[in-house]
Amino acid sequence: MLKLYSFGPGANSLKPMLALFEKFTFGQQFTVHQLNPRNFEHHADWFKALNPRGQVPALEDANLPEGANIITESTVICEYLEDAHPTAVKLRPTSHYDVAQMRCWTKWVDEYFCWCVSTIGWHRHVSTMVKDLSEAEFEEVVARIPVFEQQVKWRRAREGFPADLLDEEMRKVAVSVRKLDDHLADNEWLAGGVYSLADICNYSTAAHLTMGYDELVNTEDSPHLLRWIDQIKARPAVVEMYAKVPREF
Amino acid sequence: MLKLYSFGPGANSLKPMLALFEKFTFGQQFTVHQLNPRNFEHHADWFKALNPRGQVPALEDANLPEGANIITESTVICEYLEDAHPTAVKLRPTSHYDVAQMRCWTKWVDEYFCWCVSTIGWHRHVSTMVKDLSEAEFEEVVARIPVFEQQVKWRRAREGFPADLLDEEMRKVAVSVRKLDDHLADNEWLAGGVYSLADICNYSTAAHLTMGYDELVNTEDSPHLLRWIDQIKARPAVVEMYAKVPREF
């Protein structure tokens, strides 16, 4: 049995969730233990005992020995599922060359695309979680965060992100939309002509762009990106996932 | 036959070079086409035809069809060599769990460790390459760079990196040294008890720390990191690599 510790279906939590729903039967072969971000549950001691970085998603694999049964980092979890739990559904292309292209795409999400969209999302939505806390309550929240850069991000969420940072992040979102749409103009999927972890990992961030980015993401400027998002949303595993895993916001 | 387009043995170029020397016979099974960074050869049209991002390393695999025979991104190249060219020398651990740990380490280099060390290296060394150019010569160099963020980095190298950025990067170098040394205190290698891509990718950045970081990296504060660096330097494949591939600086 596999257990995914995660938030609702969005951003990094969405990546292994999509992979699990494609490959396995929900409730029988895997479960989802949903943490509540509004309670900062990922910074609670019980969860930091599983992942000392206090970050979701994390995968618990009952096949592994206790004490060494937790896989962290969303992209690493996705590759692990392919390595350790192969099924008839393959989420990596067949040829080694195409797998390398897939990894360029998953790497790009993790190093570029997810960060700019994340900052805008924090600025617009996540910041509301800490705006009304008292100074003491907020400091208590920050003190429980193990990763320094995450502490900085929460402070900025509360104080407001610098305007030049937000401008730079929006520039990167625009670059990302262009890159995806251009590639998808000539390709049904991102790598190797098949639905793969490249699509899963990029969709997990790109899905956020259909709300609140109208000037960049619309039928005129990014029709191929929207076609690809719709294509993924229509997959039976994805429909099932959205029906069974509640969203937070 | 495999051909690696790269700079000398340092940073990202070093990663696939170390993997190739472990696995294959230099000159027979692979060659190294060394580009000259002082001429900005990686931004020349002939190279951008191979890698449109104008970045080394890039691997050409004669087994692949022309037009789709170049693998880019240093970590992706390393994984590709394991996937497409398995040999008796395995550079990934055996268990899937350990491979996942290895990938957390290679990911960490690419997202955190390599960037802070790179900025300090650019500030100290690389910047000398553009300080003496005329304004017109410099703009000609920048105009040939396809990646916007790299253009910004070259401008900063010329004008001087902001002091607060350098302080922040040095803080991250210190965090990185602590993380590596702590882990290596209890482990001979970074993942799975064997020499793997985790070690190769981290060493490629960590090797720079033995010169010019005396306050952080010394026998008192980071003995385990230094032990591990020496251990890698003593490997026959690594000795051979340094003997056969000329350094630039």
A86-109 tens-digit pLDDT:
999 999 999 999 999 999 999 999
Q: Cα distance from B61 to chain A (closest Cα, Å)?
A: 10
Banded model confidence at residue B248, pLDDT cuts 50, 70, 90: confident
Does the pLDDT of residue A35 top 90, yes or no? Answer: yes
- Partners of A96 on chain B (C-beta within 8 Å) are 80, 83-84
A136-145 tens-digit pLDDT:
999 999 999 9
Distance between CA atoms of B147 and B162, rounded to whole angstroms? 21
- Partners of A98 on chain B (C-beta within 8 Å) are none
The ipTM of this complex is 0.97
Topology (CATH) of B2-91: Glutaredoxin (3.40.30)
B115-128 tens-digit pLDDT:
999 999 999 999 99
Residue with tokens 């931004």: B43
The DSSP code sequence of A92-104 is S-SSHHHHHHHHH
Banded model confidence at residue B144, pLDDT cuts 50, 70, 90: very high
| CB-based contact A76 B103, cutoff 8 Å | yes
CB atoms within 10 A of CB B91: 22
| CB-based contact B103 A175, cutoff 8 Å | no
C-beta separation of A180 from A203 below 8 A = no
Of A172, A209, A240, nearest to A27 by C-alpha is A240
Mean pLDDT of chain A: 97
| CB-based contact B73 A104, cutoff 8 Å | yes
B13-54 tens-digit pLDDT:
999 999 999 999 999 999 999 999 999 999 999 999 999 999
Count contacts between A and B (CB, < 8 Å): 65
| Nearest beta carbon to residue B72 from set A71, A76, A104 | A104
C-beta separation of B242 from B248 below 8 A = no
Distance between CA atoms of B70 and B86, rounded to whole angstroms? 18
Instruction: Tell me how far apart the 2 most distant CA atoms of chain B are, in Å.
Output: 55
Distance between CA atoms of A158 and B172, rounded to whole angstroms? 23
Q: Determine the average pLDDT of the residues in B135-150.
A: 96
| CB-based contact A107 B80, cutoff 8 Å | no
Find which of B96, B116, B173, B178 to mutate to test the A interface (most A CBs within 10 Å of its CB): B96
A163-216 tens-digit pLDDT:
999 999 999 999 999 999 999 999 999 999 999 999 999 999 999 999 999 999
- Partners of A107 on chain B (C-beta within 8 Å) are 73, 75-76, 110
What is the pLDDT, as a whole number, of residue A248? 80
CA angle A110, A115, A120 (to 5 degrees): 150
**Which token pair is A232?**
């993924």
Residue type, A249: F
Coil, helix or strand for B103? helix
Strand partners of residue B4 = B32, B59
Coil, helix or strand for B247? coil
Contacts of A217 (CB under 8 A, 6+ apart): A177, A209, A210, A225, A226
- Partners of B73 on chain A (C-beta within 8 Å) are 103-104, 107
Does the pLDDT of residue B249 top 80, yes or no? Answer: no
| CB-based contact A99 B107, cutoff 8 Å | no
Query: Which residues of chain B are at the A interface, by a Cβ-Cβ cutoff of 8 Å?
Result: 61, 64, 68-69, 71-73, 75-77, 79-80, 83-84, 96-97, 99-100, 103-104, 107, 110-111, 148, 175
| Fold match between domain A2-91 and domain A96-235 | no
**Which token pair is B116?**
């802070």
Domain residue limits, chain A: 2-91, 96-235
C-beta separation of A87 from A108 below 8 A = no
| Nearest beta carbon to residue A96 from set B73, B84, B100 | B84
Does the pLDDT of residue A226 top 80, yes or no? Answer: yes
Coil, helix or strand for B194? strand
Q: Which CATH number fits domain B96-235: 3.40.50.620, 1.10.520.20, 1.20.1050.10, 2.60.120.260?
A: 1.20.1050.10
Distance between CA atoms of B121 and B166, rounded to whole angstroms? 11
What is the pLDDT, as a whole number, of residue A249? 63
What is the pLDDT, as a whole number, of residue A97? 98
| Nearest beta carbon to residue A103 from set B61, B76, B111 | B76
Distance between CA atoms of B188 and B202, rounded to whole angstroms? 14
